Amino acid sequence: MFEVLTEKLAKVFRGLSSRGKLSEKDIDEALRQVRMALLEADVNFKVVKDFISRVRERSIGAQVMESLTPAQQIVKIVNEELIKTLGEGQSRLETSPHPPSVAMVVGLQGSGKTTTSAKLALHLKHSGQRPLLVAADNRRPAAIEQLVALGKQQDIPVYSENVGVSSKDVCAHALNKAKELAASWVIVDTAGRMHIDEPMMAELAQLREKLKPVEVLLVVDAMTGQDAVRMAEEFNSRLGLTGLILTKMDGDARGGAALSIRWVSGVPIKYIGIGEKADAFEPFYPDRLASRILGMGDVLTFIEKAEKTFGERGVKELEKKVRTASFNLEDFLSQLEEIQKTGSIDQLVEMLPGGSQLASQLPAGMEERHLKKVEAMILSMTPEERRNPDIIDGSRRRRIAKGSGVKPQDINQLLNQFHQMQKLMKMGMGGKLPKNLRGMFG
């Protein structure tokens, strides 16, 4: 996510840091490079013009020019203006005073609308809500079947009727069903088209009038760049959108849509889709995304993911072991198993400060394959060897290597890297992973 833009901005800020005191000419040159980086990332040119203007106005003030750390001050300004462009505070879903609350999910075919409806329902379920999914795309039997299958996988009820029944009738019957089930949310997956047309908009407008939803959420594919921005404007002018959900953010190395869409359309981004898995779906926090773009990581989301996977107690136990340097290979193995439930390794690494640079150095899929190899080596050890790796001598190394299908030198490398990790835990890492430890993660 934002890989290209993050690298270019990091290069600009490194150049500023090496200069010490900055002149107005230095700042203008740096902002010229930032402007080019944003335009190459497919950010809307009006957004870029306004953003650069705001940053320059603040950067040539006395607070920056006379500061002992002017480069850091400029990074701070860029971060704050990025947050402003992305929409500042988090935008939460509105709720109806009289349940169930209704959310209409709209969008074109291929944007991930049906999958996103199921992900939203699962997110609400995990938040303690009782969602009901409604298959209101009465034009495509495949869309109905897909939503029913997704609902079954996540144990979420789905209301559907035969193809041919009007969307308005399906939704009216679904609301009655929601009251029977005491559902707190009704998520309506509406019909999409390959392109925006008048009959589609008229049908959605009628459905909106009938349902009176508290949320009208447009699903847009982040990888379509400025087309996504134009689509958001069109849908908003016709339907009055309350929020946006950007899908395929994990595949968008440029980030133009995410950085433009809120500013141009005026509609807040409420969620982002970051993968194909059912739980690869996050609330949108402008400050966290700005931090990721600037290569500063997203530690809060990392902690939330860890707590969700390990549980609060598990996180505290892990923290205690790390702090006291009593973390052993058995603990490392259990963390590997849990990490694989959390998400892809490269996504997790990107959330750590400076991790985006490390993630970009790893060949696609390599870190996952390498961790499987590490897992095999640790599983070939006895419980005693995992708890006390110091007892692993030459004969034990050969036995472990044979059992895991690797060479004895691979065992040596793993043990050396693990000892280095333990030393770092005693000293405190400070968020920076040394080169000799990168092999442990691929």
pLDDT band at 413 (very low <50, low <70, confident <90, very high): confident
pLDDT digits (tens, 9 = 90+) for 51-87: 999 999 988 876 676 666 777 888 888 889 999 999 8
Which one-letter amino acid corresponds to residue 250?
D
Say what the pLDDT of residue 11 is.
Answer: 87
Whether the per-residue pLDDT at 440 is higher than 60: the answer is no
Q: Where are the domains of the chain?
A: 3-86, 101-293, 299-441
Q: Which residue(s) pair with 53 in the sheet?
A: none
Q: Give the CATH architecture of domain 3-86.
A: Up-down Bundle (1.20)
pLDDT band at 325 (very low <50, low <70, confident <90, very high): low
Q: Which residue(s) pair with 134 in the sheet?
A: 159, 188
Say what the pLDDT of residue 424 is.
Answer: 58
Q: Which helix (H) or strand (E) holds 244?
A: strand 243-247
Tokens 């490269």 correspond to what residue?
A: 346
Q: What is the residue-wise DSSP string for 333-350?
A: HHHHHHHHHH--HHHHHH
Whether the per-residue pLDDT at 212 is higher than 70: the answer is yes
* Residue 202 to residue 282: CA distance in whole angstroms: 31
pLDDT band at 367 (very low <50, low <70, confident <90, very high): low
Say what the pLDDT of residue 177 is.
Answer: 93
Q: Bigger pLDDT: 255 or 321? A: 255
Whether the per-residue pLDDT at 429 is higher than 70: the answer is no
> Which runs of consecutive H residues, i.e. helices, occur in 272-407?
286-293, 299-323, 329-342, 345-350, 355-361, 366-379, 383-387, 394-404
Axis-axis angle for helices 70-86, 24-40 (nearest 10):
40
Say what the pLDDT of residue 436 is.
Answer: 45
Would 3-86 and 299-441 be classified into the same CATH topology? no
- In this prediction, residues 138-163 reach a mean pLDDT of 89
Q: What is the residue-wise DSSP string for 107-137?
A: --TTS-HHHHHHHHHHHHHHTT--EEEEE--
Whether the per-residue pLDDT at 349 is higher than 70: the answer is no
pTM over cut 0.75? no
- 7-16, 176-185, 238-247: which has the minimum mean pLDDT? 7-16
- In this prediction, residues 254-281 reach a mean pLDDT of 87
Say what the pLDDT of residue 249 is.
Answer: 84
299-441, CATH topology level? 434 Repressor (Amino-terminal Domain) (1.10.260)
Say what the pLDDT of residue 441 is.
Answer: 41
Tokens 């600009």 correspond to what residue?
A: 12
% of the chain with per-residue pLDDT over 70: 78
101-293, CATH topology level? Rossmann fold (3.40.50)
- In this prediction, residues 317-322 reach a mean pLDDT of 61
